[in-house]
Chains A and B, each alone.
Chain A
Amino acid sequence: MIQLENITKKYANFVAVDRLNLSVDKGEIFGFIGPNGAGKTTTMKMLGGVLEPTSGAVTIAGVNMQEQPEVAKRKIGFIPDRPYLYEKLTGMEFLKFTADLYGVGQNGFHKKAAKHLEMFSLADWSEELIESYSHGMKQRLIMAAALLHDPEVIIVDEPMVGLDPAAIIMVKALFKQLAQKGAAIFMSTHTLKVAEDTCDRIGIINKGKLIASGTTSDLQREANVSSADLEQVFLNLTNSTSLE
């Protein structure tokens, strides 16, 4: 469903992402972790089609992002970590705006919008201006908008930031449910517990390169860590040291 072939992104002389190869299958949740500045957000942006790779190809559900960006983007539900929302629109208007751009039919829209707003506990706020929303509510709204058109691929950057514990549990369950229905989920996170709990496979990126990829037990073997602690795996593989 998601295929990255030799993706490289250079900013002047700095190589942010270096010949990255990756694939995520249908129904799979892939966790993408790495230290700050490792190239996670750059990779996410290239996956979402908002940044052009210097070289290499991004394929979404069989569609090449560089050749057919609109077709590829239609298949994606993109959830950035710091969402920009039009503060002077209401929650419902923002959903309508997104639905129009993603081609969600007029007939199905209201039913779907109501369902998603209910699911993300925003039903009572649908007619309020977004500027009055809290950070967590904005995060929930952007998720509701991204899922409105039933995307085949979900790209999500730091999904749990700003969410309360109940919402975190709900989102984790929702992602698992969506994956069971066949969606491929590419999730970047700093919260290793979330990656451990939710993801089928995890990839670790460091200095622009994918240094390890596999299930939690694959990574433990690679990092020579016996305990089931992903944190130690991460520190070993990225050569980082904890503050303790």
Chain B
Amino acid sequence: MHAVITLLKPRIWPLKNRGVPKNLHGRAAKLILLGTVGVVFWGGIFAISWRVLDYFKGIEDIGDILGFKLLSMILIISFALLIFSSILTSLSKLYLSRDLFLVHSMPVASYKIFLARWIDSTIDSSWMVIIFTLPVFIAFGIIFQTGGFFYANMLVTLVSLAINASAISTLLVMIAVIVIPATRMKSIFIFMGILFFVVMYLAIRLLRPELLVDPEVFDTVLVYITSLQTPSSPFLPSTWAYDSIRATLTGSMSGGIFHNALSWSFAGTIVFIMIKVADTVYFKGFSKTQTSGARVFKKGNTADRIFNFLPGPIKSFTVKEIKAFLRDQTQWSQLFLIAALVVIYVYNFKVLPLEKSPIKTIYLQNLFSFLNMGLALFVLTAVTARFAYPAVSQERNAFWLVKTAPISLKTFLWVKFFIYYFPLLILTEILIVATNILLQVTPFMMALSTITVFFLVPGIVSIGIGLGAAYPDFKAENPNQTVTSFGGLVFMIVCAGYIGLVILIEAGPVYNLFMADIRGKALSLATWAWIIGAFAVAFVFSLLAIALPMYFGEKRLAKLLF
């Protein structure tokens, strides 16, 4: 165990090495901003959970059942998130980290290296899920008026859930690395992507959330209640966690302990099996991954030919950017994640029981379409954060090439912009058009949302590239994670503000236009002037959103000492 602890020290010691930063005020401001956003987010989750549970509690007969159904959903989703997060983290920590070469040359058994890495990976992949589900469980505790035992038991249960998810994922990763030929690391990522897709699909199908709001599909109330009470699979670790938390919510301490013990006994068993497997195959897998990946597209001249019309330096950066992106194995899993996200997003619109609503359907459909614009743009923001924001930091140590190349920083940034702009525009338009078709919106709403999105996408991509250039991190172990830094937070806030502002400016005029269309009435001249003015303001905002962040990023990047 001594070796395992020693191997974890490079992770622990840097915490005390931070010392007094040079820019104390800047750091304090960042901490305050990050802390405030974290607390607001955490508090928001708590407030919403408390409000929903309080409402459920007030419903006679089935209030508790609804609450428990919600609990079950949260635990299944948390488990799915933990599984996916652990797959990516363990793959990186066990096989791709840059310090593995050093660690494996040390006189330590490979299973001990594995164990230290696994502990590190489990903490990294689960802390955020646990921290941000805590307010939900605390709300449960308050609404169900439980004692201190509930909170203690809940914490212990969540830890066992995280360990179970991490051990299952790590076992899968180890098997995948061994089974799939070593020269095909990309295949492993594709395998993981498909696996995540299946897990998410199963999790959502197990829940069937649309039925919760649509009791009419059931013949009787009794069938509805029975459906709500249907337990999840007894073989899922999230079910044991659910049974334990539910037992303590209803005051059954022994039930809570029993199901918790069940979860921990599985954790103990699977960790034991995992270490045994690691002892046999981990080093073999690590040794295999040191071979370079086989290229899927061996003749990579297509990009060269396509961009032949561009001037030399611009063409070279464009081609390099595209090739580097396609050959970066870590991007592949993210592409699958996005595909899964799009399918789930569109699927949610398909199952919306709009016709059951007491509000007039055509009104509701178009209201949803309008709100959907904002929602799709938030999805775009998340995707931009993952791909466009880290684009400058991705240059890493090779940034000196940019600095010394016969190309201005401005051009360099605009190359980055266009690389990400076109795919992201297509993605967002697909989201908007597909969901609008499912919602059967009016042609006016279809035109409005596609045009609005067309003008907002370049703004968001520009904020991503611009702020990514303003706050680059060329030394990041994984540049994709730079979005969790201060600059990434600023990007999120600016994007949210920009989207919210444009939606707000357009809301009034769109409502007037839409209602006039439905009622077949003409609009007054003053209303037309207001509508045109509002759209013009939104347009100007969009132009500013494109120009200003790129300018800001360029200026900051130029001042950077590299």
Identify the A interface with B (CB < 8 A). 11-12, 45, 48-52, 69-74, 76, 78, 80, 83-90, 93, 97-98, 100-103, 129, 131
Inter-chain CA distance A93–B101, complex, in Å, is 19
Q: Quick check: A71 and B14 within 8 Å, CB to CB?
A: no
Residue of A nearest to B112 (CB): A70
Interface string of B264-292 (1 = CB under 8 A from A): 00000000000000000001100100111
Q: Quick check: A83 and B102 within 8 Å, CB to CB?
A: yes
Residues of chain A contacted by B108 (CB below 8 angstroms): 70, 73, 101
A242 to chain B minimum Cβ distance, whole angstroms, is 29
Q: Quick check: B98 and A84 within 8 Å, CB to CB?
A: yes
Q: Quick check: B107 and A70 within 8 Å, CB to CB?
A: yes
Complex A-B, nearest 6 residue pairs according to Cβ-Cβ distance, in ascending order: A88-B14, A73-B107, A74-B107, A52-B287, A86-B10, A100-B6
22 A-B residue pairings within 8 Å (CB atoms): A11-B182, A12-B182, A50-B290, A51-B287, A69-B110, A70-B108, A70-B109, A71-B107, A72-B107, A73-B105, A80-B105, A83-B102, A88-B10, A88-B13, A88-B14, A90-B17, A97-B6, A100-B2, A100-B9, A101-B3, A102-B106, A129-B17
Residue of B nearest to A45 (CB): B290
Q: Is the interface of A mostly helix, strand, loop or mixed?
A: mixed
Excluding A51-B287, A102-B106, 5 further A-B contacts by CB distance (< 8 Å) are A11-B183, A11-B292, A72-B107, A89-B10, A101-B107
Residues of chain A contacted by B106 (CB below 8 angstroms): 73, 98, 101-102
B174 to chain A minimum Cβ distance, whole angstroms, is 15
Task: Say whether B219 faces chain A, with CB atoms less than 8 Å apart.
Answer: no
Residue of B nearest to A128 (CB): B17
Residue of A nearest to B477 (CB): A87
A-B interface contact total, Cβ < 8 Å: 84
A188 to chain B minimum Cβ distance, whole angstroms, is 15
Residues of chain A contacted by B475 (CB below 8 angstroms): 87, 131
Q: Quick check: A101 and B6 within 8 Å, CB to CB?
A: yes
Whether A50 touches B284, Cβ cut-off 8 Å, given contacts A100-B6, A101-B7, is no
Residues of chain B contacted by A89 (CB below 8 angstroms): 10, 13-14, 17
Q: Quick check: A49 and B104 within 8 Å, CB to CB?
A: yes
Whether A50 touches B101, Cβ cut-off 8 Å, given contacts A11-B183, A93-B13, is yes
Inter-chain CA distance A76–B324, complex, in Å, is 37
Residue of B nearest to A96 (CB): B9
Inter-chain CA distance A129–B17, complex, in Å, is 8
Residues of chain A contacted by B182 (CB below 8 angstroms): 11-12
Inter-chain CA distance A87–B2, complex, in Å, is 23
Inter-chain CA distance A80–B181, complex, in Å, is 27
B280 to chain A minimum Cβ distance, whole angstroms, is 13
Partner of A11 from the list B2, B109, B291 (CB cut-off 8 Å) is B291
Residue of A nearest to B6 (CB): A100
A19 to chain B minimum Cβ distance, whole angstroms, is 19
Residues of chain A contacted by B9 (CB below 8 angstroms): 93, 97, 100
Q: Quick check: A12 and B181 within 8 Å, CB to CB?
A: yes
Residues of chain B contacted by A86 (CB below 8 angstroms): 10, 14, 99
Inter-chain CA distance A49–B17, complex, in Å, is 32
Inter-chain CA distance A74–B105, complex, in Å, is 9
Residue of B nearest to A71 (CB): B107
Residues of chain A contacted by B284 (CB below 8 angstroms): 52
Task: Say whether B516 faces chain A, with CB atoms less than 8 Å apart.
Answer: no
Residues of chain B contacted by A87 (CB below 8 angstroms): 475
B286 to chain A minimum Cβ distance, whole angstroms, is 8
Residues of chain A contacted by B10 (CB below 8 angstroms): 86, 88-89, 97
Interface string of B62-100 (1 = CB under 8 A from A): 000000000000000000000000000000000000110
Residues of chain B contacted by A101 (CB below 8 angstroms): 3, 6-7, 106-108
Inter-chain CA distance A241–B9, complex, in Å, is 49
Residues of chain A contacted by B32 (CB below 8 angstroms): none
Residues of chain A contacted by B6 (CB below 8 angstroms): 97, 100-101
Inter-chain CA distance A11–B107, complex, in Å, is 25
B124 to chain A minimum Cβ distance, whole angstroms, is 16
B139 to chain A minimum Cβ distance, whole angstroms, is 38
Q: Quick check: A48 and B17 within 8 Å, CB to CB?
A: no
Task: Say whether B142 faces chain A, with CB atoms less than 8 Å apart.
Answer: no
Q: Quick check: B13 and A12 within 8 Å, CB to CB?
A: no
Residues of chain B contacted by A129 (CB below 8 angstroms): 17
Inter-chain CA distance A52–B107, complex, in Å, is 15
Interface string of B304-328 (1 = CB under 8 A from A): 0000000000000000000000000
Inter-chain CA distance A98–B108, complex, in Å, is 11
Partner of B104 from the list A50, A88, A90 (CB cut-off 8 Å) is A50
A117 to chain B minimum Cβ distance, whole angstroms, is 18
